[in-house]
């Protein structure tokens, strides 16, 4: 079998209702994952681990749909699928941890809840057919918060933010981004920007078109540099190539606007 029979837990509406009512005990062996704490996440980063994150944008590319800043692309699609299909092996072979955003269909309208459930089913079926789920349908590797950098500015994350920034600012790091505010020097006084050893900028739309040139430019830096990537889906495929060459890579995404320490 290449996919999980989700009907064993009921219809889509019944599964959503159980989520909404917090009746998880009725979803016996429903696909799930062990969630790593934010404390563990920042300690892993301090220990030199790379961190790659995946969300609904990557799912759209996998399903051959474009998103507003990245058109559908077969080569990008194949590279992203390879990462989903080999996440466990990558985490064992390299110092790399993952954050796969897998939503819970419980806090939205019925239409959105069904969309979230469909994405959940799609993701877990990839992990299932590549044998990355155990006998209880639990992900075999620890999954970290894919939204950590997006919310790093919040007071509840102040201690983790301090640890992260203290580590990063003690290193040489390169920011790679297409964000207009960075390109146009609007945020140049923010410590995260000021402390960067270098900033590689690229076009904000369809950045994967420049993938080869970006990889070549990144490889011109030695392994003492950390790469902070804010490139959407392209960050994942660029990131893994750098990780394979012993660079530490932090896929910060929209966190580029939030790291204000």
What's the pLDDT tens digit per position in 198-243? 999 999 999 999 999 999 999 999 999 999 999 999 999 999 999 9
- CATH 3.40.50 for the 155-257 domain, yes or no: yes
Q: At what angle do helices 211-218 and 233-244 cross, to 10 degrees?
A: 40
pLDDT at 55 over 90: yes
- The arithmetic mean of pLDDT across residues 66-85, rounded, is 96
Interior/surface letters 212-250, b for 16+ CB within 10 angstroms, e for the rest:
eebeeebeebeeebbbbbbbbbbbbbbbbbbbeeebbbb
- Sequence ranges of the domains in the chain: 10-129, 155-257
| Phi, psi angle pair for 99, to nearest 5° | -130, 100
- pTM equals 0.96
- For residue 11, the tally of other CB atoms under 10 A from its CB is 10
């Amino acid at each position: 079998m290449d996919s999980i029979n989700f009907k064993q837990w009921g219809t889509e509406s019944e599964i959503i209702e159980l989520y909404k009512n917090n009746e998880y005990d009725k979803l016996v062996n429903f696909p799930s994952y062990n969630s790593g704490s934010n404390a563990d996440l920042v300690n892993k980063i301090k220990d030199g681990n790379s961190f790659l994150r995946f969300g609904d944008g990557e799912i759209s590319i996998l399903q051959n749909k474009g998103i507003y800043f990245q058109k559908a692309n077969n080569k990008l699609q194949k590279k992203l699928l390879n990462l989903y299909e080999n996440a466990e092996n990558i985490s064992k072979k390299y110092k790399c941890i993952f954050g796969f955003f897998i939503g819970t269909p419980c806090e939205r309208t019925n239409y959105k809840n069904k969309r979230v459930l469909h994405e959940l089913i799609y993701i877990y079926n990839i992990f299932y057919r590549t044998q990355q789920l155990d006998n209880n349908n639990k992900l075999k590797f620890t999954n970290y918060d894919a939204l950590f950098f997006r919310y790093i500015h919040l007071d509840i994350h102040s201690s983790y933010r301090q640890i992260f920034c203290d580590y990063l600012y003690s290193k040489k790091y390169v920011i790679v981004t297409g964000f207009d505010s960075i390109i146009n020097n609007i945020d140049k006084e923010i410590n995260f920007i000021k402390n960067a050893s270098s900033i590689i900028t690229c076009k904000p739309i369809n950045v994967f078109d420049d993938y080869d040139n970006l990889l070549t430019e990144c490889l011109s830096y030695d392994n003492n540099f950390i790469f902070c990537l804010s490139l959407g889906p392209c960050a994942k495929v660029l990131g893994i190539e750098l990780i394979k060459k012993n660079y530490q890579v932090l896929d910060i995404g929209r966190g580029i606007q939030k790291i204000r320490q």
